[in-house]
Amino acid sequence: MNTPAPHETPSRPCRPGDTALLLLLGAVALAAHCAVNFRYGFFRDELYYIQWSERLAWGYVEQPPFTALAVYITRLLLGHSLFALRFPPALVHAALVVLTGLMAREMGGKRLAQGLAALCVLLGPIFMANNALMTMNSFDQLFWALCLYILIRRIQTGNARLWYWFGLWAGLGLMNKLTMGFFGVGLIIALLLTSYRKDFLRKEIWIGGAIAAALFAPFVIWLATHDWCTIEFMRQYGAGGKTVQAGFLQWLYMQILTVHPLTLPIWLLGLWSCFMDAEGKRFRVLAWFFVVMYAMFFALKAKFYFLSPAFPILFAAGAVPIERWCMRPARRAFAGVYLAILALTGAALAPLAMAVLPVPALLKYTAAIGVNAGVTTEQVTETELPQHFADQFGWEAMVESVAKVYHGLPPEDRAQCAIFTANYGEAAAIDFYGPAHGLPPAISGHNTYYIWGPGHATGQVLIAVVSERRREALEQVYEDVRLAGRNDNAGLAMPYERGQVFYLCRGLKAPLEEIWPGVKSYN
């Protein structure tokens, strides 16, 4: 087994040409996102996070508050446009490209290895997709990469004080998304499986852990004062069968396709190198980390993309032996051809991940590949578009349809009318687009909207944006429930959004405060 030494092989010297290449590839990622990220519309979760940012707190039902704060700062500094909102994740993709190249440098790679590893992240559909939208998944990839880069530096330099920096980034990562907790569990197991278990006898790793815990503590306190709602949410989310229960081969297929099929030999070689290669074995803890995370997420039936932040370490580890193999002049031509094919196929896969194509061309593209090429995360019916695109359409049209119902009411009804929605996407859309149409704030029992409660709404007059099967439930609490309209203008939205109807409800049978606990829906 590898044994940590007071100092290992010094890091490869920083050559300006190498750094320039990485910065260039990062700039390409940034430019690509900026060229297309405003093309469709706001994503369901983006609308929701905007509402989080307008109600800043130490936590929300689904996640800690980092994304809400990021949205708040972005809108404060850059404005409220779609382009502005998606600029930070574009920067994250650029940073991730550079960081992956630096990982390869720390693992002994020269320019080819650094460029190849960075190119894998630049062209990987999952990295394009997760950084094309303002979501916590973008920052999750970044925090994993920062922690893994520091771990590589710890191995390479023997500097145990780097655990302090690790604790900082891990703590911020925990305040972004709870998958960082699984990261921590996976890393502890990986350390215990190697001679780096000795680090647990050093104070530095415990101080780093204390830093992470201190940063995470405000969210834990918030949870304790909100009935541990996130734990209830996670339990309901898993028990509800919302995520796709993929078998081993399907889950592996989705990993291979979404990180880019042609990178398969690179990351498999990286795994082999860290376990078996004479020069790569000092990074064996990274290989164990990947194996543990793969097994953990698959066993938990997690969404396939939860594993994606772990791939950059294998890209970096695999690029180094490839570079050594390409040292002979005859093999350099092969490397050039491979890089060209990798780039061309990455460009061909980009429309799966980003708003590259105009809508008519996108429809033809998705029809040709079977909507989403067999990649899915939730058990929902998809039609013309995969979910991450379909959820960017139809929101403003839905709000306009609700506004027609609202403004058709007598003035005395409008004065006390509330708008109730079945899910947070509809509620957030009404809160975002509704003020321009004179609509009151939305209320909903879904996730964090439940915690926010009914506000000043009395519920005596209610427009309910729900599916038709919810009519019976409405009739249990209202004297009069009438169909007032349908969401007929949803366009390319998800099928369940196109099926929503608008019920006008009057005559509440009990005070809204008494009814409210019954509308809670965590999933």
Q: How far apart are CA 103 and CA 150, in angstroms?
A: 9
- Same domain, yes or no, for 337 and 477? no
Average pLDDT of every residue of the chain: 91
Q: How far apart are CA 468 and CA 427, in angstroms?
A: 18
Nearest to 487 by CA among 503, 507, 508, 471: 503
Nearest to 452 by CA among 436, 441, 438: 441
- For residue 281, is it within any domain? yes
- Same domain, yes or no, for 322 and 454? no
- Same domain, yes or no, for 49 and 190? yes
- Same domain, yes or no, for 267 and 412? no
Residues near 132 by beta carbon (within 8 Å), at least 6 away in sequence = 33, 37, 86, 89, 90, 353, 354, 355
Q: How far apart are CA 396 and CA 402, in angstroms?
A: 10
* pLDDT recorded at residue 242: 59
Domain limit, last residue, from 287, 322, 352: 352
Q: What is the pLDDT of residues 332-391, one digit of tens each?
A: 888 889 999 999 999 999 998 999 999 889 888 888 877 666 566 555 566 778 888 989
Q: pTM score, two decimals?
A: 0.92
- For residue 222, is it within any domain? yes
Sort strands 501-508 and 478-486 into parallel, antiparallel or unpaired: antiparallel
Domain limit, last residue, from 319, 352, 385: 352
3-state secondary structure of 78: helix
Q: Is 359 left (phi over 0), alpha (psi -120 to 50) or beta?
A: alpha
Sort strands 461-466 and 478-486 into parallel, antiparallel or unpaired: unpaired
Domain that holds residue 132: 16-352
- Name the percent of the chain lying above pLDDT 90: 77
Band of residue 128 on the pLDDT scale cut at 50, 70, 90: very high
**Structural domain total, the chain:** 2
3-state secondary structure of 505: strand
- Same domain, yes or no, for 315 and 219? yes
* pLDDT recorded at residue 200: 96
Q: CB 198: neighbour CB atoms within 10 A?
A: 12
Say yes or no to pLDDT of 239 above 70.
no
Q: What is the pLDDT of residues 496-505, one digit of tens each?
A: 888 889 999 9
* pLDDT recorded at residue 378: 59
Domain limit, last residue, from 289, 319, 352: 352
- For residue 374, is it within any domain? no
3-state secondary structure of 480: strand
What is the rounded average pLDDT of the residues 149-165? Answer: 96
- Same domain, yes or no, for 210 and 331? yes
- For residue 380, is it within any domain? no
* pLDDT recorded at residue 373: 60
- For residue 384, is it within any domain? no
Q: What is the pLDDT of residues 295-344, one digit of tens each?
A: 999 998 888 889 999 999 999 999 999 999 888 777 788 888 999 999 99
Q: What is the pLDDT of residues 258-284, one digit of tens each?
A: 899 999 999 999 999 999 988 888 999
Nearest to 502 by CA among 520, 479, 475, 483: 483
Q: Is 453 left (phi over 0), alpha (psi -120 to 50) or beta?
A: left
- Same domain, yes or no, for 75 and 135? yes
- Same domain, yes or no, for 424 and 327? no
What is the rounded average pLDDT of the residues 417-446? Answer: 96
* pLDDT recorded at residue 4: 44
Q: How many helices (H) does the chain have, and how many strands (E)? A: 26, 5
- For residue 10, is it within any domain? no
* pLDDT recorded at residue 516: 95
- Same domain, yes or no, for 294 and 433? no
* pLDDT recorded at residue 365: 87
Residue with tokens 């995470």: 216
- Same domain, yes or no, for 345 and 421? no
- For residue 372, is it within any domain? no
The single-letter code of the amino acid at 313 is I
- Same domain, yes or no, for 174 and 83? yes
- Same domain, yes or no, for 150 and 281? yes
* pLDDT recorded at residue 1: 41
- For residue 373, is it within any domain? no
Asked if 221 and 65 touch (Cβ cutoff 8 Å), the reply is no
